[in-house]
Amino acid sequence: MAKPCLTAMVVAALALVASAVTLARAEADDPEKVDAWFTRLSHAERKTTRLHFYFHDTLSGKNPTAVRVAEATMTEKSPTLFGLVNMIDDPLTEGPEPESPLVGRAQGFYASAGLESLGLHMNVNLIFISPEYNGSTLSILGHNPALETYREMPIIGGTGVFRLASGVATAKTYFFNLTTGDAIVEYKVIAMHY
Ligand SMILES: *[C@@H]1O[C@H](CO)[C@@H](O)[C@H](O)[C@H]1NC(C)=O
Ligand SMILES: *[C@@H]1O[C@H](CO)[C@@H](O)[C@H](O)[C@H]1NC(C)=O
């Protein structure tokens, strides 16, 4: 009777593996599916998606979502904070209030790259959790002159429903605390994708 027992164990083990695979697929397609998607691409229509959300960059308090990971060692402190790097995992919400429904997170870093004037180098992935875009991402890579009213940054790619995305993100500061550096920034994104 040892054999059926072993078979049952193997079946159970396979079931475990299968459920792990199913879970993985909920997040991203396997390479064959991605390949098949590209094969059908010549018949696909380009779509345009507009997104509007608020980005909460919190440096202060017990639970900061932006932390300093590097800064320059200079004899004089740079007025533009040149050399500073902050790693972020900032919540993105529907409205400007921190309690507003969460639509995703902005993960990545921004670095102070301007010597003469404040200019942030943004290297940020927007990871959406709202039902229609759950698990899909958009990547921002660009120049953010944070003291200007409107900052335009390139959307350089995406995943999930945003595969092959290109577009523009426009940021406008909604709230800024000069003491703490905490900021709430309004983002409008227009992306073309398939
Ligand atoms: C988003 O996907 C995750 C796992 O992929 C799931 O746990 C979650 O319930 C989904 N959320 C929505 C709003 O669909
Ligand atoms: C800015 O932060 C400081 C320190 O937490 C706080 O005392 C002050 O009220 C804040 N200002 C605004 C406008 O929220």
DSSP secondary structure code for residue 94 in this structure: S
Which ligand 2 atom sits closest to the C-alpha of 180?
2
Q: If you measure from the C-alpha of residue 129 to the centroid of ligand 1, how many angstroms do you get, rounded to a whole number?
A: 7
- Separation of first and last alpha carbons in the chain: 56
CA distance 95 to 142: 24
Shortest-distance Cα residue to atom 5 of ligand 2: 180
Read off the amino acid at residue 143: H
Q: If you measure from the C-alpha of residue 177 to the centroid of ligand 2, how many angstroms do you get, rounded to a whole number?
A: 6
Q: Confirm if 87 and 107 have CB atoms less than 8 A apart.
A: no
Length of the chain: 194
Q: Per-residue pLDDT tens for 31-77?
A: 999 999 999 998 889 999 999 999 999 999 999 999 999 999 877 88
Q: For position 5, what pLDDT does the model report? A: 56
The pLDDT of residue 26 is above 50? no
- The 10 Å Cβ neighbour count of residue 143 is 14
Would you state the structure tokens that stand for residue 113, as one six-digit string?
């790259």
Q: Is 26 in the pocket of ligand 1 (CB under 6 A)?
A: yes
Pairing of strands 85-93, 66-70: antiparallel
Percent of the chain with pLDDT over 90: 79
Q: Per-residue pLDDT tens for 161-182?
A: 999 999 999 999 999 999 999 9
Q: If you measure from the C-alpha of residue 146 to the centroid of ligand 1, how many angstroms do you get, rounded to a whole number?
A: 33
Q: For position 7, what pLDDT does the model report? A: 55
Q: Confirm if 18 and 10 have CB atoms less than 8 A apart.
A: no
The pLDDT of residue 3 is above 80? no
**Chain Cα centroid distance, residue 62:** 23
Domain assignments of the chain as residue spans, ordered by start:
2-28, 45-193
3-state secondary structure of 156: strand
Q: Is 102 in the pocket of ligand 1 (CB under 6 A)?
A: no
What mean pLDDT is predicted for residues 14-30? 50
Q: Residues near ligand 2 with C-beta < 6 Å?
A: 60, 177, 179-180
Q: For position 163, what pLDDT does the model report? A: 96
CA distance 91 to 34: 29
Q: Per-residue pLDDT tens for 78-136?
A: 999 999 999 999 999 999 999 999 999 999 999 999 999 999 999 999 999 999 999 99
To test the pocket of ligand 1, the residue of 19, 129, 137 to mutate (highest count of ligand atoms within 8 Å of its CB) is: 129
Tracing tokens 């009777």 back to the chain, one arrives at: 1
Q: For position 110, what pLDDT does the model report? A: 98
Superfamily of domain 45-193: Allene oxide cyclase-like (2.40.480.10)
What are the helix (H) ranges across the chain?
A: 2-27, 31-39
Q: If you measure from the C-alpha of residue 127 to the centroid of ligand 1, how many angstroms do you get, rounded to a whole number?
A: 12
What mean pLDDT is predicted for residues 143-165? 97
- The 10 Å Cβ neighbour count of residue 64 is 18
Q: If you measure from the C-alpha of residue 74 to the centroid of ligand 2, how many angstroms do you get, rounded to a whole number?
A: 29
